[in-house]
Amino acid sequence: MGSSWPCCCWQRIEMGPAWSQLVRPCSPKPALLLASLLLTAGLALADAVASCPVLCTCRSQVVDCSSQRLFSVPPDLPLDTRNLSLAHNRIATVPPGYLTCYGELRVLDLRNNSLVELPPGLFLHAKRLAHLDLSYNNFSHVPADMFVEARGLLRIDLSHNPWLRKVHPKAFQGLSQLRELDLSYGGLAFLSLEALEGLPGLVTLQIGGNPWVCGCTMEPLLKWLRNRIQRCTADSQLAECRGPPEVEGAPLFSLTEESFKACHLTLTLDDYLFIAFVGFVVSIASVATNFLLGITANCCHRWNKASEEEEI
């Protein structure tokens, strides 16, 4: 994973303790390199003076590369970067392992780019990442375990991804600290309850502006939301049903048990037991009937034979 990405930190991991004697492969400034090599604690200095990428501004652990028409992510950020903004660019992919070096990263802003997906394992070393903004991109689905390594996430913004149709039931698995989730203005017609159920810390949920289809499959989620609404702010006014026709335009949270009555006109357990019982009785009866018919036929046959013999 990520071996193609020219990352010093990556190579440090691969090369082990011998790294400090090696030339830093991704540092663009030989003079600084030399200085760092001259020091026994060269690592610390190298980290502190890592240069700022062109087109970005770097100040007190904040790296701002927003609105620079970037088509790819800038390499070699200062290793102590805390806030990284790549917003309002045209970035279509993030290389795997891109964040490996930046263990201090708290805020990653990728808003308003052309991202379709993130590489697996991107957050493997981003243990401190708390805020992730992926809004205004082109994500079509949120796969299982997309954020699983970023256990410290407090906020995920996936809003305004108009092609976002699917959120895997295990998409947000393991995010026990997540407080804010924004899924508004996507293309979601359905969301499974399982996707949200495992988020004990959720305080704010935004789901408005999606073409929700409030059919029977949505009932568990809506029921759960209604029960949780006291503890969880949701954009209830904005979330509307796009279908089925009977509830088109109705606010999601206006739907009651009554709205889903038709979903429960199906058979209950008692009905199934009754059917099974009747089936059982019928099959027993048919076996018995066959048995009796068989005996009768046999008797008739013998009786016939006996009378024929008598006649002869």
Provide, rounded to whole angstroms, the least separation between the CB of residue 192 and ligand NAG: 21
302 CB-near residues (< 8 Å, 6+ apart): none
d(CA 145, CA 150): 10
Return the residue of 138, 173, 177, 204 that touches ligand NAG, per CB under 6 A: 138
Provide, rounded to whole angstroms, the least separation between the CB of residue 215 and ligand NAG: 24
Return the residue of 131, 226, 228, 242 that touches ligand NAG, per CB under 6 A: 131
What are the φ/ψ torsions at residue 16 (nearest 5 degrees)?
75, -155
Of 62 and 232, the one with the shorter C-beta distance to ligand NAG is 62
User: What does the block give as tokens for 254?
Assistant: 């206006």
Question: Is 62 near ligand NAG (CB under 6 A)?
Answer: yes
d(CA 211, CA 187): 6
Centroid of chain to Cα 240: 22
Applying CB under 6 A, the span of 31-39, 136-144, 216-224, 265-273 interacting with ligand NAG comes to: 136-144
Of 114 and 289, the one with the shorter C-beta distance to ligand NAG is 114
Of 155 and 226, the one with the shorter C-beta distance to ligand NAG is 155
- Binding residues for ligand NAG restricted to 109-128, rule: CB under 6 A: 112, 114
d(CA 217, CA 187): 17
93 contacts 122 by C-beta, under 8 angstroms: no
Return the residue of 51, 83, 192, 236 that touches ligand NAG, per CB under 6 A: 83
Examine residue 244 and say whether the peptide bond preceding it is cis (omega within 30 degrees of 0).
yes
Question: Which residues of this chain interact with ligand NAG, rule CB under 6 A?
Answer: 62, 67, 83, 88, 107, 112, 114, 131, 136, 138, 140, 163
